[in-house]
Amino acid sequence: MTIATPRIGYDSIFDEANVVVSATTDSVGFEYTNAFNWNPSQKWKPASTSDQNLSTNLVAGKEVDYLAIYGHNLGTTGGSYLLQYSSAGDPTSWSDVIPSKSPSDDNVIFAIVSSSVTHPNFRLQITSCTISTTIAHVSIGKTMEIPAEYGLGLGFVPPNLSNLNEYYNPISDKGTPLGRSVKRFAGESRINLSLIDPSWIRNTWKAFMDHTDTKGFFFSWDFNNYSGESAFCWTESKGLSSPTYSDSNLMSASVKFKVLVK
C-alpha cells in the first residue's frame, strides 16, 4: 500500500473571472448555473436524456488535473461521464482528459489524472442516461496536494466512516422495542498538519484558507488506495485555525470540516 497523499479540489475553472460557460439544455428552476455556484441545495437538470455538455471557454489556458461531481444521480440513471478538452478558440474537436466512466452509485466523484493538462476549453459530457440527470456541483481544476510528510494527524476520520447520526428507539410500556428512527447529519472530519515548510503555508495553504471563507471544496484523503472515499466539504465557524509556528521554525495548521459523500 502506498503512502496516503491527500488531495483537495477547490480550484475551479468555473470561478475564473473571464470564463464563459454554456450547457446543452437545462430546466426551469434547475438552470445549468446551479452546477457551479457552490450551493449544493441547487441543482442542474438537463431537459432531456440525450447527451449533455457543460462547457467552459477561456481566452488563456487553464491547468486541470481533476474533475469532481457532487449531488448526482448517475448511478441511479445508468449514465456515464467524461471530461474533454479542446485547444481551438472555437472548439469543434475534443479529446479525452478523463475517459468515459459509469459510476455504480451516486457517491461523490473525484477523478484525478496523473499528469495535468493546460487548455482554454473543457467540457463535462453526460451520456447514456435512462432518465434525466441532476447534478448539484461540478468542479474542474488543479488539485492542492498535501505532502505526505505533513500527515493527516492523529485521530483523522476518513469522510466515509464519519457518523454523527442520532438514533431514537421508542419502547413500549412493557419494554418492547417499537422500532428505530434515525436523524441523519453531515459527517465531520479534521486535518491536523505539522512540521510544515512556512513557504508552503504562504504559497499554497493561504489560498485554500481564503477560498473556504465563502465556498466548499472536495477532499480525497487517499486517492491511490481509497479513491472512492471522497467527499464534498465545507467549514463552519472557527473550523479553520490560523497556522502557527513551532519551536523548530516550522509550522502547524488544521481545518475541521463537514462532509457529504452522496
What CATH number did the domain enclosing 65 receive?
Answer: 2.60.120.260
- Domain finish residue from 129, 145, 161: 145
pLDDT reading at 1 higher than 60:
no
- Residue 2 resides in a domain: no
pLDDT tier, 92 (very low <50, low <70, confident <90, very high otherwise): confident
Residue 138: domain span: 7-145
Q: Is residue 180 part of a domain?
A: yes
Q: 252 and 181, same structural domain?
A: yes
Q: 73 and 23: one domain?
A: yes
Stretch 120-147: mean pLDDT: 94
Task: Mark which of 145, 180, 214 sits at the end of a domain.
Answer: 145
Whether residue 99 is found in the same domain as residue 57:
yes
How sure is the predictor about 30, in pLDDT bands with cuts at 50, 70 and 90? Answer: very high
* Residues 13 and 141 both lie in one domain: yes
Does position 160 have pLDDT exceeding 80, yes or no? yes
Angle at 256 between CA 147 and CA 136, to 5 degrees: 90
Share of the chain above pLDDT 70, in %: 98
What's residue 2's pLDDT? 64
Cβ partners under 8 Å of residue 254, min gap 6? 153, 190, 191, 192, 193, 240, 241
Same domain, yes or no: 171 and 84: no
Tell me if 163 is assigned to some domain: yes
Q: Residue 31 pLDDT more than 60?
A: yes
- Does a structural domain hold residue 1? no
| Sequence letter at residue 153 | G
If asked whether residues 123 and 228 sit together in one domain, one would say: no
The last residue of a domain, from among 145, 164, 188: 145
The answer to whether 262 touches 40, Cβ cutoff 8 Å, is: no
Same domain membership, residue 220 and residue 132: no
Q: Please give the tally of structural domains in the chain.
A: 2
Give the distance from CA 247 to its chain's centroid: 35
Output the pLDDT for position 168: 81
The verdict on 132 and 183 lying in the same domain is no
Flag whether pLDDT at 231 surpasses 90.
yes
What distance lies between CA 90 and its chain's CA centroid?
29
Distance CA 165, CA 179 (A): 16
- Asked if 175 and 50 sit in the same domain, the reply is no
Q: What is the pLDDT of residues 234-260, one digit of tens each?
A: 998 777 889 999 878 999 999 999 999
Whether 16 and 124 share a structural domain: yes
With cut-offs at 50, 70 and 90, classify the pLDDT of residue 14. very high
Residue 121 shares a structural domain with residue 101: yes
Provide the pLDDT for residue 139. Answer: 98
Tell me, what's the pLDDT at 176? 84
For 164-209, the pLDDT digits (tens) are: 777 788 888 877 887 888 777 788 999 999 999 999 999 999 999 9
**Lowest mean pLDDT, pick from 23-32, 153-162, 176-185:** 176-185
CB 187 within 8 A of CB 159: yes
Closest to 115 measured CA to CA, from 99, 100, 97, 101 = 97
Tell me if 231 is assigned to some domain.
Answer: yes
The pLDDT of residue 60? 87
Given a cut of 80, whether residue 3 has pLDDT beyond it is no
In a domain, 160, yes or no: yes
Q: Does 163 lie in the same domain as 137?
A: no
Q: What is the pLDDT of residues 35-76, one digit of tens each?
A: 999 999 999 999 999 999 999 999 889 999 999 999 999 999
- Residue 126 falls within a domain, yes or no? yes
